[in-house]
Amino acid sequence: MESSILVTGGAGYIGSHAVRALLRAGKRVVVLDNLCRGHRPAVPQGATLLDLDLIETDAIAAALREHNVDRVLHFAALTYVGESVEDPLRYYWNNTAGAVSLLQAMKQAGVSRLVFSSTAATYGDAVASPIVEVAEQNPINPYGRSKLFVEQILADVAKSDPDFSYVALRYFNVAGCASDGSIGEDHKPETHLVPIALQVALGQREAMTIFGEDYPTPDGTCIRDYVHVEDLIDAHLLALDRLDTPGGAVFNVGIGRGYSVQEVLDAVRRVTGHSLPAKVGARRAGDPAELWASGDKLRSELGWSPRYDSLDAIVETAWRWFQAHPTGYAE
Ligand code: UFG
């Protein structure tokens, strides 16, 4: 039987874009998603959807065997920093214990190749930008720790098993939607800057609140590194090939340039033609002033070359999706 790739979290924002790219590349794809935050209609046609929880180790091992899976892309996770502070156990259970369960299932089924979705939140806020992969990791919230623990577990597993190989990708700020408008972003609740700004442009919210204008940055607002979701998925496809090299590797995924909140709002104003009223509010707890990547390692070692290098181009793809799906996926 032809081999397939397991995509956990394939009904989510980023996972669904991965499924689509893999199907387009002619791969067989099995999606594992418990649909607690994902959307059934987000799973592109042609993929097999398994409604399983990460913690169901034996069922996952059986599915890995049944579908002849040889590689795993592990996206499934909870990703709200604030929620992780309020309910840390839920994050350690889903993100950390869930990954351990998945690794157990892979071991049972003899699957030894994994790409893991890690995060810039593992660096914390003490590190100077641009952030290189060898920078100290000192996460400041349970979300970041739940992911850092998995990175450490992966390193231990690779040390203990010479057949095991993995790539951990530390995402910076992922934004934008499929360039053809077919799939997109639908978070409930929505907390991210670009979608919230587009909801203002759609008239669903009255105004933006800028979380703090007194940061030590040129315009006083926070600086982040925005990477288009399709460029992020390209990094995953390159990482899948890198799994033929034994051991583990870690890469930042960011374009290597920071934009302030004000610059993002200006891009949304240009793209939508909406005045986008914005008031300045208090700082949001846990927001570092500046967080942007050195993308050098990913470019030089894996040959990654992001197609979207302007904020306007990224926002345009998201705007197309939000205009066509103002309330997200119809379920
Ligand atoms: N922001 C506002 N107003 C809003 C929403 C956001 O001013 O209504 C600001 C934030 O304070 C921040 C910037 O816009 O300065 C970006 O915020 P997002 O919530 O879009 O993204 P974050 O940088 O907070 O989070 C991202 C990922 C997280 C990850 C984190 C790592 O989405 O999963 O980077 O620090 F944990």
6 falls in which pLDDT band (50, 70, 90)?
very high
Assessment of whether the complete model's pTM goes beyond 0.95: yes
192 CA → ligand 1 middle, Å: 6
For the CA of 120, the nearest atom of ligand 1: 31
Among this protein's residues, is 13 annotated catalytic? no
The conformation of residue 95, written as its DSSP 8-state character, comes to: I
Residue to substitute in 127, 147, 169, 193 for testing ligand 1 pocket (most ligand atoms within 8 angstroms of CB): 193
Q: Among the atoms of ligand 1, which is closest to the Cα of residue 172?
A: 34
Report CA(177)–ligand 1 centroid distance (Å). Answer: 17
Centre of ligand 1 to C-alpha 223, Å, is 9
CA of residue 211 to ligand 1 center, whole Å: 9
- pLDDT score, position 288: 87
- What backbone torsions phi and psi does residue 120 show, to the nearest 5 degrees? -60, -20
| Calpha distance 173→295 (Å, rounded) | 13
Give the Å distances, CA to CA, from 200 to 193, 195, 212, 271.
Answer: 11, 9, 19, 13
pLDDT tens by residue, 15-55: 999 999 999 999 999 999 999 999 999 999 999 999 999 99
**Cβ burial 73-97 (10 Å sphere, 16+ → b, else e):** bbbbbbbbbebbeeeeeebbbbbbb
Is any atom of ligand 1 closer than 6 Å to the C-beta of 79?
yes
CA distances from 313 to 71, 175, 178, 214, 323 (A): 32, 11, 12, 28, 16
Residues 6+ apart with CB under 8 A from 44: 16, 19, 20, 23, 182, 183
Pocket test for ligand 1, best of 224, 227, 232, 276 (most atoms within 8 A of CB): 224
- Min mean pLDDT across 9-13, 79-83, 199-203, 297-301 is at 79-83
Please tell me if the CB atom of residue 121 comes closer than 6 angstroms to any atom of ligand 1: yes
Q: Note the pLDDT of residue 309.
A: 87
Q: Ligand 1: which of 122, 123, 148, 284 to mutate, judged by most atoms within 8 Å of the beta carbon?
A: 284
**Residue 331 pLDDT greater than 80, yes or no:** no
Cβ partners under 8 Å of residue 300, min gap 6? none
pLDDT bin (cut points 50, 70, 90) of residue 287 is confident
Residue 142 has pLDDT above 80, yes or no: yes
Give how far Cα 110 sits from Cα of 73, 107, 274, Å: 16, 5, 53
- Choosing from 143, 166, 259, 308, the catalytic residue is 143
pLDDT averaged over every residue in the chain: 96
Instruction: Please work out whether the CB of residue 287 comes within 6 Å of at least one atom of ligand 1.
Output: yes
Confidence of residue 127 (pLDDT cuts 50, 70, 90): confident
Index of the ligand 1 atom closest to the CA of residue 79: 33
